[in-house]
Structure formats: C-alpha cells, structure tokens
Structure 1
Amino acid sequence: MINIINKLAILWDFDGVILDSMPVREYGFKKVLEKYPTREVNLLLDFHKVNGGLSRYVKFRYFFKEIRKEDVSEEKLSNLAKSYSDIMRKKLVSKNNLILETINFIKENKSNFNMHIVSGSDNNELNFLCDKLIISQYFKSIEGSPTPKIELVRSLIKRYGYAPENICLIGDSMNDFEAANLNSIDFYGYNNPDLKNLNAVYIKSFT
C-alpha cells in the first residue's frame, strides 16, 4: 500500500485524517461569526478549506485583517477562539466522527511505529477530544496550536531524537505538506484529491 515499513515514527494530522470534522468546523465558524455578513464568513470558509492545517487563531485573524480590513485585539481573538472551542467540545466527541479505516490502521500498527499527533487544532481541545474518543493511548504525544505545525514537527524531531528519514507525516492539506517539506521528512497525502498533484505519495485508502 504505502512505503512506510521502514519508518520508525508516524506523525498524524488530526482533522480530516483521524476525525471527520470538516462540517462541524464550518458550523463553528458560522456560529461564532453569525453577526457578520454572510459573504464575509463564506470567504473565511473558503480560506479554511484551503488551509485546513492552520490554527483557528490564524483564521480568525485573517477574517478581520484580510477580509474585513480592520484591526482586531488579541482579547477578541481569544474570546472567539474560546467560543469556537466550546462548540467543538460538544459536537466532536462522538465516535461516529472517527475515520474508521485510519483508526483501525493505528490500532493494528500501534506496536510497529511510534505515533504522534501534530495538529492545527487548539492543543487543549485536541487532548480533550482524544481523551473523550479514547484514542490518546495510541500516541506518544498529542500537540496542537497555537504553535504552528512547522514548529511542532521541528520540536518533536529534536525532542525524540528522530532522524528525518525515519519519520513521515500523514496529512490532508498543503499546510501539512509544507510542515513536512520544511522539516525534510516524507509526506503522505490523504483524504484530499488535490494533493495528488504534489510530488508526494498519496494514500487512497488505509484498507
């Protein structure tokens, strides 16, 4: 299926790879920004779809700075992010949201690889969801934003002493590809046909 047998560790993106969360994520942005014009919110959703690996903090800042062309305080960004996270904690805890072929692969190979999650999702929310979904035990570490994914990967490689050629990142966005590429590790695309155009391996299915 994929040339992964020679790897020591797998770094997993979360949204769209382990959890089918896109509809809920989109609902969350619409809900917390419901007082703003629909056209502007839709522009944010377009940005969100293309940049799935970026944190919500970056996306909310983009909404005000680039779409609305106005300054926004860190306090306001923090409040929006908290409201968004409250929705996610309620809506994403169902195991029905898990991508079963990915979870089955992880369970079947938990003894064959060191596995880590590196995500654009809020770190506290991410760990909360993994605990509620009862999947935390499969990963040596679970880390999210506001630290950018590129830095999360770089720090993880250093902390665990991995040689770049011995690890890979599996993700569904260009941000994941860039995080892998800039850290000189292999990238495997998944669950996003647009990634087939990259000079990278594409996983059609874990089954």
Structure 2
Amino acid sequence: MIKAIIFDFDGVIVESVGVKAQAFSMVYNSYGNEIISKVLDHHYKNGGVSRFEKFIYYHKSFLGIKLSKDQLKELSNKFSDFVVDKINSAPYVNGALEFIKTNFRKYDYHISTGTPQNEIEIITRYRKINKFFLSVFGSPEKKENHIQKIMESNNYSKDEVVFIGDSLQDKIAANKKDITFIGRIEGSNKQLLNEKYKVSDLSELDNIIKQL
C-alpha cells in the first residue's frame, strides 16, 4: 500500500522545463547558435541533473573552459534571476494541483528536484503549496540521497513509496533505491515511453497509484 509520493518538480508539478531551456539559451547566447543547440540538446536529454553540473559540463565539453567556483556562482545567480519569476507564474501540470489538494491527507508528499534548495523553497512558498509537503529537497544533493533521507526519516518501506518524475535521471534514482517509478510523458520527451507505469499528466495519477 502506497503511503508516500515523491514528486519531481519541473515537468511534474509545474510546466517549467521550457523556462529552464530559455535560461540556458540566455546564458550561452553570446557563444552562438551551434553552442546553444548543443546545450539545449543535452539539457532536454538530461532532465533531473542540476544546473551546476550542467554548467561545468557545458563549459568544459563545448567551450574548453574550466569554471572557477566564482564563475560557477555567477552563472548560477544569473540563471536563478531569470527563472524564478517565470517559474512562479508558470502553469501547473494538468491535474497536479487538484491531485495535491485532494489527496494530501491520504498520502505523505515530498519533493525531490534538481532545482537549488533555496530556490525550490522560495518557489513552493510563493505558490502556497509548501504546506502540503512534509519535505522539500533540492540540489546540490543527489536525488537518490533525497530518497534515502525521506525513507529513513519517515520509516517507510520500499513498497510504500512511489516516485513520479519526467526524466531518465529520476528513474535511475528511484531504481537505485528500489522504489516504484511513474514516468510523466510529455511532448518530445520519449525517454520514458516504455515504462510500466506512466501518465501524460497528473489527472491520471490517482488511477495509476490505485493499481500499485
């Protein structure tokens, strides 16, 4: 019986994956369209990876530049300034807010996201959904560590927890901790099409969880 649901944030609760893509385009705009294309291709194929890891990878692999800590912080702040307001006003994934409000007494809710910790706390408070979640975890900590902490602090067994995400990294984190994974399939993202449990939006989530 499922007791707890761990949600990714971007692309699962809020339709904000495109906002992050816009931010990466903005950051790498001065390097030209070829670099932007490489950045966005990697970004879309590697959802769930923190922006810090992506900045380091993009600069080293595409530009031949090793970022200093100060440079990484500057890029991250620029990125954050761009995305927070846009994510605060981004629409919810269809069915997400309804599911969260309707079922929060039935299940424990947690968030595990690649968004920086301070930023996801600001966003959930602004959207007034923080009250529904027992815990909210962001980067730089890895998602498998989030899951481990959630399970240990709440004494959940593996068959009592489900993770819903929209990326291969979400699936990998859930598999590492041997918990059920539900994939959110959207648009051109085909990475999770073969998942046993999948939804096109969260209006379908309740029916899927009842099958577990």
Q: TM-score, normalised by structure 1?
A: 0.91
The range that moved more, 137-146 or 69-78, is: 69-78
The CA RMSD measured in Å over matched residues stands at 1.4
Does the 8 Å contact 1:16/1:191 carry over to 2?
Answer: no
**Does 2:195 align with 1:195?**
no
**Does 2:156 align with 1:159?**
no
CA deviation map 1:157-185 (0-9, x unaligned): 12222111110100000000000000110
What is the aligned partner in structure 1 of residue 35 from structure 2?
Answer: 40
In structure 1, the gaps of 5 or more residues are 1-5
| Aligned-residue identity in percent | 31
What is the aligned partner in structure 1 of residue 206 from structure 2?
Answer: none
The range that moved more, 79-88 or 63-72, is: 63-72
Does the 8 Å contact 2:93/2:201 carry over to 1?
Answer: no
The alignment of Structure 1 onto Structure 2 pairs a total of residues equal to 200
What is the aligned partner in structure 2 of residue 76 from structure 1?
Answer: 71
Does the 8 Å contact 1:172/1:190 carry over to 2?
Answer: yes
Divergent runs of 4+, >4 A? none
**In the alignment, residue 136 of structure 2 is paired with which amino acid?**
I
CA deviation map 1:122-177 (0-9, x unaligned): 11111111111111111101111111112211222122221111101000000000
In structure 2, the gaps of 5 or more residues are 204-212
Q: TM-score, normalised by structure 2?
A: 0.89
Question: Tell me, what secondary structure is at the counterpart of 1:197?
Answer: coil
**Does 2:130 align with 1:136?**
yes
**In the alignment, residue 55 of structure 2 is paired with which amino acid?**
F
